[in-house]
Amino acid sequence: MPTYTCSDCNMSLESINCSCGTELVHKTITNDNGDTVQVAECPNSHGKIKSPTCCGIDMNPE
Ligand SMILES: [Zn+2]
Ligand SMILES: [Zn+2]
């Protein structure tokens, strides 16, 4: 399971669960501007959220 860690202050976050109880899966997507965005997505197609941020930067899944 991924644990999100802030590379700046080292705060970590346990993995995030969907309302259906399934752990969200980390994905990197590319938006229309060509920017890559880190998201956490429910494998059961319930949608996705942006990865958590800390200190103004995306937290990295490990
Ligand atoms: Zn931080
Ligand atoms: Zn779900």
Q: Residue 38 above 90 pLDDT?
A: no
Task: Tell me how far the alpha carbon of residue 25 lies from the centroid of ligand 2, in angstroms.
Answer: 10
- 61 close to 51: Cβ distance less than 8 angstroms: yes
pLDDT level of residue 16 (50, 70, 90 thresholds): confident
Task: Tell me how far the alpha carbon of residue 54 lies from the centroid of ligand 1, in angstroms.
Answer: 4
What CA dihedral angle connects 30, 36, 37 and 42, to 10 degrees? 50
Task: Tell me how far the alpha carbon of residue 62 lies from the centroid of ligand 2, in angstroms.
Answer: 21
The full set of domain ranges for the chain reads 4-52
User: Which residue in this structure is represented by tokens 């259906």?
Assistant: 20
pTM of the predicted protein model: 0.72
Q: Residue 12 above 90 pLDDT?
A: yes
Task: Tell me how far the alpha carbon of residue 52 lies from the centroid of ligand 1, in angstroms.
Answer: 10
Q: Residue 35 above 90 pLDDT?
A: yes
Instruction: Kindly state the average pLDDT of the residues 44-50.
Output: 93
- 43 close to 20: Cβ distance less than 8 angstroms: no
Counting Cα atoms < 13 Å in the Cβ hemisphere of 17 gives 4
